[in-house]
């Protein structure tokens, strides 16, 4: 076990971090959430500008931290939080691109499993192709809460791509849609894999920030601050 602080997180003790961490890709979105929703906030990480905060949401202790973009960056943080800081649950709260006409800008998507062009699991299970999935209880709890609150959320498969700009973009998208993939993002395949590897819990939800079916995309500022419905949903679900 690597001693803490780790190479990427400066918190000196697991006690500085709550047992559930909400993780947007953008560290400034983590800061926005801490400032808007949490009380008695402390900052536990500034290394590489990857801000992390712990505070209380309606009396419940919770942390929020950026993960950076992509599977390699985010898995560093997932691993260090799960393995070295005794974190039990990570809920990714990200942005995604819609693959379907009926999933519009600002809609919420919850991942029931993740597919990917990443090689991280290649050969790990011999000839078997692993299917990374979220914690089922968290998934059901989310579904129940969205029904209760009348929040429109799409549940389905998401694709975690290694390349935001891809020469072959779209080549396989129709096939992925045919097989049930509803949105594209860049991290949850790594999150679900890491959580299962270490016997921890994870969930990933997204707000749609762009879509090939509409001309306008959300600006970087809207991505940082515009996604309050998802933030509130994740804060409500977060296990203590």
What positions carry a catalytic annotation?
A: 210
Q: Which of these, 186, 194, 70, lies nearest to 124 by C-alpha position? A: 194
211 binds other proteins (CB under 8 A): no
Q: Which of these, 8, 26, 15, lies nearest to 227 by C-alpha position? A: 26
Among 11, 16, 20, 27, binds other proteins (CB under 8 A): 27
100 binds other proteins (CB under 8 A): no
100 vs 194, beta carbon nearer other proteins: 194
196 binds other proteins (CB under 8 A): no
Answer yes or no: are the C-beta atoms of 44 and 53 closer than 8 Å. Answer: yes
For tokens 């931290």, the residue is 65
Give how far the C-alpha of residue 29 lies from the chain's centroid of Cα atoms, to the nearest Å: 12
From 25-33, 98-106, 125-133, 199-207, give the range in contact with other proteins by CB under 8 A: 25-33
72 vs 180, beta carbon nearer other proteins: 72
The burial class, CB within 10 Å (0-12 / 13-18 / 19+), for 170 is exposed
76 binds other proteins (CB under 8 A): yes
Among 136, 164, 179, 213, binds other proteins (CB under 8 A): 164
Query: At its nearest, how many Å lie between other proteins and the CB of residue 60?
Result: 27
Answer yes or no: are the C-beta atoms of 91 and 57 closer than 8 Å. Answer: no
76 vs 138, beta carbon nearer other proteins: 76
26 binds other proteins (CB under 8 A): yes
Q: What are phi and psi of 148, to 5 degrees?
A: -60, -40
203 binds other proteins (CB under 8 A): no
Query: At its nearest, how many Å lie between other proteins and the CB of residue 26?
Result: 5
For tokens 């649950």, the residue is 89
73 binds other proteins (CB under 8 A): yes
State the Cα–Cα distance between residues 91 and 71, nearest whole angstrom.
Answer: 15
Host H or E run for residue 181: strand 181-185
176 binds other proteins (CB under 8 A): no
State the Cα–Cα distance between residues 85 and 220, nearest whole angstrom.
Answer: 31
Would you tell me which residues interact with other proteins (CB under 8 A)?
Answer: 5, 7-8, 10, 25-28, 46-51, 66, 68-73, 75-76, 79-80, 83, 117-120, 122, 124, 161-165, 167-168, 186, 197, 209-210, 217, 219-220, 223-224
């Amino acid at each position: 076990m690597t001693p803490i602080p780790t190479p990427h997180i400066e918190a000196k003790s697991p006690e500085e971090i709550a047992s559930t961490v909400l993780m947007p890709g953008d560290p400034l979105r983590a800061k926005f959430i801490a400032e808007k929703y949490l009380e008695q906030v402390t900052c536990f990480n500034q290394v590489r500008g990857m801000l992390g905060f712990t505070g209380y949401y309606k009396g419940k202790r919770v942390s929020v931290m950026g993960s950076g973009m992509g599977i390699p960056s985010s898995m560093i943080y997932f691993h260090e939080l799960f393995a070295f800081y005794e974190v039990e649950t990570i809920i990714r709260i990200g942005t995604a691109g819609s693959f379907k006409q009926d999933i519009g800008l600002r809609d919420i998507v919850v991942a029931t499993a993740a597919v990917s062009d990443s090689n991280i699991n290649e050969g790990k299970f011999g000839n078997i192709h692993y299917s990374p999935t979220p914690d089922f209880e968290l998934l059901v709890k989310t579904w129940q809460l969205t029904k209760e609150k009348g929040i429109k959320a799409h549940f389905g498969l998401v694709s975690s791509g290694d390349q935001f700009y891809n020469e072959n973009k779209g080549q396989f998208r129709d096939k992925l849609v045919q097989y049930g993939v509803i949105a594209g993002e860049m991290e949850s395949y790594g999150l679900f894999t890491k959580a299962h590897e270490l016997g921890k819990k994870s969930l990933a939800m997204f707000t749609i920030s762009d879509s090939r079916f509409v001309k306008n995309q959300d600006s970087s500022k809207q991505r940082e601050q515009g996604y309050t419905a998802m933030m509130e949903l994740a804060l409500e679900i977060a296990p203590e």
